[in-house]
């Protein structure tokens, strides 16, 4: 393949379209969450990820897993956790079986804020996808997103 290979150009164009779609969606959701709930997209994502933890085996995430889930570095995730902890939305505690490990749970205030913000997030996502679907370059990507199914647990 060369730099002028049509396949590479198409691939690069597809990547640019995907990046554009992501940016538009994230910006739209971010504006809505900030205006109505004083939450950034990353803060909402962190609360959402942490709210899905459970007390069963493997139910609590390590900071690296949390960072991967919210697509941030570990240090940025730690700073984000600290900000939300300072707001009373999260609580950290030592892992009962490994004192080197630190777990983070969503507080009652965090769960309340998350439940209030979830409809805003979902509506903003829908609005952003509907708007992007009007763009012929983005419409196929919107259809692909809409056709994605949530992963199911292995039986």
- For residue 149, how many C-alpha atoms fall within 13 Å in the half-sphere facing its CB? 3
Residue 155 belongs to a domain = no
Helix (H, G, I), strand (E, B) or coil at 3: coil
pLDDT of the residue at 155: 42
Q: Which residues pair with 106 in a beta bridge?
A: 90
Residue 1 belongs to a domain = no
Residue 37 belongs to a domain = yes
Residue 125 belongs to a domain = yes
Encode the chain (155 residues) as per-residue pLDDT tens digits: 555 667 768 889 889 999 999 999 999 999 999 999 999 999 999 999 999 998 777 788 888 889 999 999 999 999 999 999 999 999 988 877 777 778 899 999 999 999 999 999 999 999 999 999 999 999 999 999 999 976 655 44
pLDDT of the residue at 108: 97
CA 143, CA 145: separation in Å to the nearest integer? 5
Identify the helix (H) or strand (E) that includes residue 106.
strand 102-106
Residue 126 belongs to a domain = yes
Residue 2 belongs to a domain = no
Q: What is the CATH number of the domain that holds 119?
A: 1.10.10.10
Residue 20 belongs to a domain = yes
Total domain count, the chain: 1
60: left (phi over 0), alpha (psi -120 to 50) or beta: beta
Give me the domain span that covers residue 35.
Answer: 8-145
Residue 115 belongs to a domain = yes
Q: What is the pTM of this model?
A: 0.85
């Amino acid at each position: 393949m060369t730099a002028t290979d049509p396949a590479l150009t198409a691939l690069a164009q597809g990547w640019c379209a995907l990046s554009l779609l992501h940016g538009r969606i994230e910006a739209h959701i971010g504006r809505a969450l900030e205006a109505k709930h004083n939450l950034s997209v990353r803060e909402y994502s962190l609360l959402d990820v942490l709210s899905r933890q459970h007390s069963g085996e493997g139910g609590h995430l390590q900071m690296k897993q949390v960072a991967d889930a919210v697509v941030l570095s570990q240090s940025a995730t730690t700073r984000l956790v600290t900000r939300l902890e300072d707001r009373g939305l999260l609580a950290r505690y030592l892992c009962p079986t490994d004192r080197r490990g630190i777990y983070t749970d969503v507080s009652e205030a965090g769960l309340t804020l998350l439940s209030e913000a979830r409809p805003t997030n979902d509506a903003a996502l829908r609005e952003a996808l509907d708007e992007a679907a009007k763009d012929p370059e983005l419409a196929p990507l919107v259809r692909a997103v809409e056709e994605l199914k949530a992963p199911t647990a292995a039986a």
